[in-house]
Chain A
Amino acid sequence: MSVNVKIPTPLRTLTAGKGEVEVEAATVEEAFQKLNAEYSGLGDRIFDESGQVRRFINVFVNEDNIKDKDNLATAIRSGDTISILPSIAGGC
């Protein structure tokens, strides 16, 4: 399945400045693995040591957070958009 992956500004140094990349995959995990193979270092920013999405990263497939679906096993269809969104937080 051909899907678009939206890359947020903080990670674009790893994708040669691209804000959007296309990948062929059947699941979110497969999409990220292929992206990491093409853009070295991207996987380290997305995955933790256990292979799960880092706590400070949100991943959406279209309008759905993958945490509300099947996490990395979430299936994707042709034309879907995967959005990588850094978690934004802080405080006094």
Chain B
Amino acid sequence: MLRINQSVLEEIQAHMRETYPHECCGLIIGGVEGEARVAATSRRCGNLNTERAADRYELDPKDMLAAQRELDGGPWDIIGIYHSHPDHPSRPSQTDLNHAWPGWSYMIGSVDKGVIASVQSWELDPAGAKFEEETLDVES
């Protein structure tokens, strides 16, 4: 389960809308409470794949490094990744699966002609062979 406050979700959705028709990416930051990853904030990151930004993303590792440095010693950590699918469903693709890592939530937003159509969250199954949808618990 990924638990997220509506305001944090709106930050992420704003990023997705602003970057349409290109894919955006970023980090979900927070903690773990029992079985749930709980988002406290998000952090926009750069997409290094400028040639295929319409359907590919590569999160700038320098942005990830900077985020990790800021989080070191504090209560939060990187708990997930978000990215958008312009004019595509919010389900993980084979490309997403090929690059996925265990232990994180993967939030995907479908942006249909500039409008958020759906947002879903996913995580790798224990075998790491496929994505399983996880509950996205949005708190108002």
Contact = CB atoms under 8 A, between A and B. Distances in A.
Contacts of B100: 90
Contacts of B99: 56, 87-90
A83 B65 contact: yes
A79 interface: no
Interface string B73-107: 00001110101011010001101101111111000
Contacts of A92: 23, 55-56, 85-86, 88, 93, 95
Interface in B38-85: 49, 52, 55-59, 61-62, 64-65, 68, 72, 77-79, 81, 83, 85
B25 interface: yes
Given A58-B61, A63-B65, A85-B61, A91 B55 contact: yes
B93 A89 contact: no
Interface stretch (A6-14, A25-33, A36-44): A6-14
Contacts, number: 79
Interface size class of B (residues with CB under 8 A): 20 to 34
A85 B64 contact: yes
B93 to A, nearest CB: 6
Interface of B: 23, 25, 49, 52, 55-59, 61-62, 64-65, 68, 72, 77-79, 81, 83, 85-86, 88, 92-93, 95-96, 98-104
Interface of A: 6, 8-10, 12-13, 19, 56, 58, 60, 63, 65, 83, 85-92
17 contacts: A9-B78, A9-B101, A10-B101, A65-B62, A85-B64, A87-B58, A88-B25, A88-B64, A88-B81, A89-B49, A90-B57, A90-B93, A90-B98, A91-B49, A91-B52, A92-B55, A92-B88
